[in-house]
Structure 1
């Protein structure tokens, strides 16, 4: 192929190709009858390797050393480039996610202050819970969904969440105190209300809800939340969630 054709194919300028040839990075040994460079398939393969490494930020001298290393082969180059590009992709995706979170926050302009959180959720609010939750679940889809959804919540939205939670807890205690057993229609309705309350933040299927029920018993802080509403409520809610999930063939 002529230098012009290679430039058009690769998106590299003719001047750049000439420069690569002059420094020995991409020599084009063949010439046509008029004395112009002619690139072979092997030289095009070498150009593709050069462009991969350039995209990754390697200096030309280091690229030349890598490609001229007699102990390496094209597969090794591709494996190295794949690993480097994958790592770059991971970093870029993380940066995009961070920028989107910041953008959503600034666009909404409704990030709650610590004082507002205490005002809405009362003395039970502990900032340490947010830090711990982020450490434990920040790499999960549920965390990503919850972050995206709550980024648009206004103070009024959070007040509604608190009011809905209090009302749901009151209904739960009333059904519990009525003697309704886990698996009964009344208990199943409470389990469905509980799942709906989680769906406000992230998609909560029955498997996820069952996992939450187990955590309510395993983590004494969650246990205390429900036990403060009514002694024995945590176990009842746990059993009710599992019984309800079974009726859904989960």
Structure 2
């Protein structure tokens, strides 16, 4: 390596600033023989010439587009290397990554929308799926009331990935369960009986479409079904007194699992 004065070239620090790469990277490229400074001062400092800078510029560009250091070395040092071919291949990989990132971006948009709205369905779709009694304002009201809860997060993240057909299947499952409740009450099924307990398990399975439901949480819901005017009207509209009967069925099942309905909390 020829001796030189500082005026003959740029120091490592100057090149680092000029190219926007770290000194550590320059030292590494020097150590592996990818880009070595051509000059050295009498004091032993390495200096990069104009030719060195040109090579470094190409390294920075190739690295920026995602080429590995070994591939960069081959392009720079092999006069027979198919540079356009290598760049086209890299461009194809970048295009695939862009498409994947766009898909991720769209998924994030849906996730954000679901956290803010709850349902990613139009008003018309909601009416068609959930029936004429459905109020499209309910999701917004639920978010205002429960938006900071873990259950809202779980509900929203399920909602983000659901198509209308999947919501229709959930609505059908809920409607089928409601019919089964009414039929069981008509048949005189007693709370705590095997048939009643199966209904409780079925309710937890159906409700899990929204978020996981523990037995204690189910007891809390049972209370709400009986005392909340909206829920009580829904169940009592299926059969008179169904809201209270359903709450008793849930409580009896909870007791069988060593849960005191009077002290159960949302956990």
The equivalent of 1:104 in structure 2 is 111
The equivalent of 1:243 in structure 2 is 252
Alpha carbons 1:105, 1:111 under 8 Å: kept = no
Following the alignment from structure 2 to structure 1, what is the Cα–Cα distance between the partners of residues 180 and 135? Answer: 25
Following the alignment from structure 1 to structure 2, what is the Cα–Cα distance between the partners of residues 168 and 216? Answer: 15
Alpha carbons 1:101, 1:148 under 8 Å: kept = no
1:214 is displaced (CA, Å) by: 0.8
Distance 1:178 1:133, change over 3 A: same
Asked if 1:190 is matched to 2:163, the reply is no
Alpha carbons 2:110, 2:160 under 8 Å: kept = no
3-state SS of paired residue (2:132): helix
- Structure 2 unaligned residues grouped into runs of 5+: 1-21, 23-105, 114-118, 260-267
Following the alignment from structure 2 to structure 1, what is the Cα–Cα distance between the partners of residues 110 and 175? Answer: 31
The equivalent of 2:216 in structure 1 is 207
Following the alignment from structure 1 to structure 2, what is the Cα–Cα distance between the partners of residues 103 and 174? Answer: 39
Distance 1:179 1:193, change over 3 A: same
3-state SS of paired residue (1:139): coil
Following the alignment from structure 1 to structure 2, what is the Cα–Cα distance between the partners of residues 232 and 113? Answer: 34
3-state SS of paired residue (2:238): coil
Following the alignment from structure 1 to structure 2, what is the Cα–Cα distance between the partners of residues 244 and 121? Answer: 29
Following the alignment from structure 2 to structure 1, what is the Cα–Cα distance between the partners of residues 234 and 108? Answer: 30
Following the alignment from structure 2 to structure 1, what is the Cα–Cα distance between the partners of residues 107 and 220? Answer: 29
3-state SS of paired residue (2:230): helix
1:166 is displaced (CA, Å) by: 1.2
Root mean square deviation of aligned Cα? 2.3
- Rg (Cα) greater in structure: 2
Q: Work out the number of aligned pairs and report it.
A: 151
1:239 is displaced (CA, Å) by: 0.6
Asked if 1:224 is matched to 2:233, the reply is yes
Following the alignment from structure 1 to structure 2, what is the Cα–Cα distance between the partners of residues 215 and 101? Answer: 33
Asked if 1:181 is matched to 2:200, the reply is no
The equivalent of 2:147 in structure 1 is 138
TM-score (norm 2): 0.53
Alpha carbons 2:174, 2:206 under 8 Å: kept = yes
Following the alignment from structure 1 to structure 2, what is the Cα–Cα distance between the partners of residues 100 and 139? Answer: 21
TM-score (norm 1): 0.57
CA deviations over 1:21-48 (Å, ceiling 9, x no partner): xxxxxxxxxxxxxxxxxxxxxxxxxxxx
Alpha carbons 1:214, 1:238 under 8 Å: kept = yes
Superposed, 1:55-204 pairs within 5 Å as 102-104=109-111, 111-204=120-213
Alpha carbons 2:200, 2:250 under 8 Å: kept = yes
Query: Once superposed, which parts of structure 1, at least 4 consecutive aligned residues long, lie more than 6 Å away?
Result: none
1:111 is displaced (CA, Å) by: 3.0
1:232 is displaced (CA, Å) by: 0.9
